[in-house]
Structure 1
Amino acid sequence: MQPQAIREAIADAARNGVTLPDGIGKLTATGYVPDAVVTPHFFCGEYSVDFDKAMRRSLDEMELTCRVLVSRADDRSAQVILDGLLAGHGPASLKESIEAARGAPGEYALGGLAHDFHVTRIQGYRWYEHQGTQYVGAELIIKILGEGDA
């Protein structure tokens, strides 16, 4: 697996799949931890890889931690926007938007970058400080399976 390409593909899926309510703007997304964010913003952060889950480098497992940050201009409205992004279903659902890149049954995910992946959980719903600014946000954990020698 190629972590950089996978992270960019997941950010593209989030950016292109989420539809926010009128007046909110568009979700910005990056496959890396940005210096500064334009909210609402989704980015791929830390990851860990378990190598050799199957013989002869045929399968590795990656766990990717992504974050979504929303402006805290108004505490309540920021959390309403965040809740929409964290919902399991709906036009603003990050889970649904990202998992749309899994492809059809029998196809490789993320345009051939991985065997499959799944958004497994949401955690850390709280205030985050990023470059000295406070945001309300949460983490999304994504499990990715792919070729070990690719």
Structure 2
Amino acid sequence: MQISPIRAAIADAAADVVLPTGVGKLTATGYVPDGILAPCFFVGEVEVNYDKAMGRRQDELLFTCRVLAGRADDRSSQRVLDALLSGSGPTSLKRAIEAARGAPGEMALGGLADDLHVQRVQGYRWFEHAGFSYVGAELVIRVIGDGST
């Protein structure tokens, strides 16, 4: 699996969320941005576990992604963040990202991986980014696929 195209595909999938009226559109990027236009989702760190199956048949990528909801008003920003972290519904990042799994029997992320799964949310807190504080959280996404490509 090639990491860069997978980062971009995860960000593209995340951009499909529909935020509550008046919030605007989610900014989504496959890399850590220099500056934030909140609300923002980005793919951060990646862990690579090679050789999950013999003959380079499967590698595992664990992406730590961040969603930063805002900083102007702590309560309204946390409401937006709560909506993004919901397990279902139009504002759910989990729903939007896992929609990129494709139909049964199809490759995930437009053919880039065998499968993906949003495993958990962690670190719901205030984050410092480029000198500003934002309320946010991390999502851990597991991607599996052919290790020989």
* TMscore range, shorter length: over 0.9
- The alpha-carbon deviation at position 70 of structure 1 amounts to 1.2
TM-score (norm 1): 0.98
Q: Which residue of 2 aligns with 1:145?
A: 144
Q: Could you say which residue in structure 1 is the equivalent of 2:13?
A: 13
- 1:40: which partner in 2? 39
- SS state of the match for residue 96, structure 2? helix
Looking at structure 2, the residues matched to 3 and 38 of structure 1 have their Cα atoms a distance apart, in angstroms, of 24
Looking at structure 2, the residues matched to 38 and 109 of structure 1 have their Cα atoms a distance apart, in angstroms, of 28
Segments of structure 1 that go 5 or more residues without pairing to the other structure are none
- Unaligned 5+ residue runs, structure 2? none
Q: 4+ runs of 1 displaced by more than 2 Å?
A: none
One-letter code of the match for 2:5?
A: A
**2:104 aligned with 1:105, yes or no?**
yes
TM-score, normalised relative to structure 2: 0.99
Query: Which residue number corresponds to residue 29 of structure 2?
Result: 30
Aligned residues between the structures:
149
Identity of aligned residues (%): 65
Deviation of 1:54 (Å) = 0.6
Cross-structure match for 1:123: 122
Note the C-alpha offset of 1:100.
0.4
Q: Secondary structure at the match of 2:46?
A: strand
What amino acid is the match of 2:8?
A: E
| RMSD over equivalenced CA pairs, Å | 0.5
Residues 37-116 of structure 1 mapped to structure 2, 5 A cutoff:
37-116=36-115
Q: CA deviation at 1:115?
A: 0.3
